[in-house]
A and B are shown apart, each in its own frame.
Chain A
Amino acid sequence: DAEITQSPRHKITETGRQVTLACHQTWNHNNMFWYRQDLGHGLRLIHYSYGVQDTNKGEVSDGYSVSRSNTEDLPLTLESAASSQTSVYFCASSGIDEKLFFGSGTQLSVL
């Protein structure tokens, strides 16, 4: 069955370190998204991509970057992790039916 997987499930890092969260989907979807979820804020869009070599900034993109070298993967990089980036991160993908399929999330703690 097609799926979308995120790794790692949990990550603890230190302030200032570079961190990369992986997202891999086998739906063959062109659209991929990264959200962060925080209490009191719901889900906020970080970056998104409509296809290979395409990336776009979302509502809360500062301090994050993505790259899309193939259809299946959209890694999210925190260039220099900050405590304000402690959050749960969700990757999602969608096809022509416009429904989002979510991964199980990555709990990131920046100490």
Chain B
Amino acid sequence: AQSVTQLDSHVSVSEGTPVLLRCNYSSSYSPSLFWYVQHPNKGLQLLLKYTSAATLVKGINGFEAEFKKSETSFHLTKPSAHMSDAAEYFCVVTPWGSQGNLIFGKGTKLSVKP
């Protein structure tokens, strides 16, 4: 069965410092992996996706993630945090060929201190 584990429920950084949100996945097949962001009172927004092309994936707002098969990880990074990055972030997996059933992690709440 496919699943994702977000290793931190809450991450706090200072504005201008790097962001690292960790995600490990479990999948029997080559998965599609996503990071979604959820700002308060707003819908989930796709940050980036991995679909077996380049292992380093660039997304919106300066975020990127690296797919590491040997470590079954898909960590999300950003070189310099901005106050507007404060939100809930979800790592998501869907098995190759699946037409539905996104499997979400429990989320990591990112706080950004001025």
Q: Do A and B come from one complex?
A: no
Task: Give me the interface of B with A, judged by CB distance under 8 Å.
Answer: none
